[in-house]
Structure 1
C-alpha cells in the first residue's frame, strides 16, 4: 500500500479520533450521575455515549494501525501498550500509549460492569478525565504530525473549550440533579433550626 496514503490516513483518523473522544467526554460530563439531556431519554443518552465511544475506538484503531504500517517512523505494536519505549518520539508516543492503556482499562471494566462493584467500575471510568488530555497532548507534541498546523490548533482549541464548557455547566450548583433534588426537598420539608446550623 502507498505509504503516503497510510500517512494521510493516520493523520486524518488521529484528528477525527480527538473530535469523537471529545464528544464522548462532553456527553459523559453532561450526563454523569442522574443528569439527562432534554432531547433524549436516559436510555438514549447511554446508547449514544456507547455508540460514540465505539466509533471513536474504531477511528483510533485505524490511526494506530496506519501509523505503524506506514513504516516511516520506528513504531511497533508493543509501543501501543508499553509506554515510553518507542524508537520515535518516545515521550509524546508514550503519552498516547498511556491514554490507550487507560482506554483499554475503561473498555474492559465496562464490558464487565455487571460483575464488578460499582465503585471499582466508577474509579476506572473516571480515568477518562486523564485519558483525554494525554491524547490531546500527544497530538500537539508528536513531531512530524499536524499538531502545530493552524487547522489542528483550531480543532484543539474547540475541543478544549467544549470540555471546559461541559465541566463549567456540570459544576453549576443549580444544574446538578442532587442539588435540584435537595432544593425541591427543602421546599417541601424546610430544614429545622438544628439541621440548618450543621
Structure 2
C-alpha cells in the first residue's frame, strides 16, 4: 500500500469515525431517555446503538492502524496509547489519544458489564461523553481536511447534533421525578 493510499484511508476513516461516533452518542442518549426510533421497537434502538458502537470502534481501529502503518509521519503504538508523547503534533495527536483511551475504557467495561456490575459500567460509560469532544478537537487540530467546506459543514452538523441531544438529555422530563445523584 502506498503512503498516498494510507493517507486517504486515514482521512476517510477519521471522517467516518466522526459520523459514527456522533450517531452512537445520540443513540446512547436516545436509549437512556427510552426513546423509540420510528419503525423500531425500543430494543431495536439499543441494538442499533451497540452495533454502530462496534462499527465505529472498527473504523477507529482502521484509522489508528493506517496512521501507524503510514511512514510519512512516525506515529508509534506508544503515541496511540500515551497522550502527548508523540514527536508529531503532540497536542493534537495527544487529544486523539485521550479520546481513544477514554473510549477504550468504555468498550472494555461494556464487554465486562455482566462481571463488573451495572453501576460500574454506567459510571464508566459517562466517559463516552468526554471522549467525543476530545476526538472532535483532535480532528480539528490535526485533520488535513479541516477548513475545507465539506469537513467544516460535517463538523458543524455533528457538533450541533450532539449538543442538541445532550440538551435534550439534560432537560428534566415532564411527569417524571428526577432522583438525586442519578446517573446517565
- TM-score (normalised: structure 1): 0.84
> Does the aligned pair in 2 maintain the 1:96–1:138 contact within 8 Å?
yes
By how many angstroms is 1:30 displaced? 2.2
Aligned residues: 176
Structure 1 unmatched ranges of 5 or more? 183-198
The separation in 2 between residues aligned to 1:149 and 1:74, in whole angstroms, is: 25
Q: Structure 1: which 4+ aligned runs deviate by more than 6 Å?
A: none
By how many angstroms is 1:38 displaced? 4.6
RMSD: 1.5
Residue 57 of structure 1 aligns to a residue in which SS? helix
By how many angstroms is 1:79 displaced? 1.2
Aligned to 2:129: 129
> Does the aligned pair in 2 maintain the 1:99–1:130 contact within 8 Å?
yes
Aligned to 1:196: none
Structure 2 unmatched ranges of 5 or more? 178-184
Larger mean Cα displacement after TM superposition, 38-47 or 76-85: 38-47
Aligned to 1:145: 144
Rg comparison, structure with higher value: 1
Aligned to 1:2: 2
Aligned to 1:189: none
> Does the aligned pair in 2 maintain the 1:110–1:121 contact within 8 Å?
yes
- TM-score (normalised: structure 2): 0.90
Map 1:143-182 onto structure 2 (within 5 A).
Answer: 145-173=144-172, 176=173, 179-182=174-177
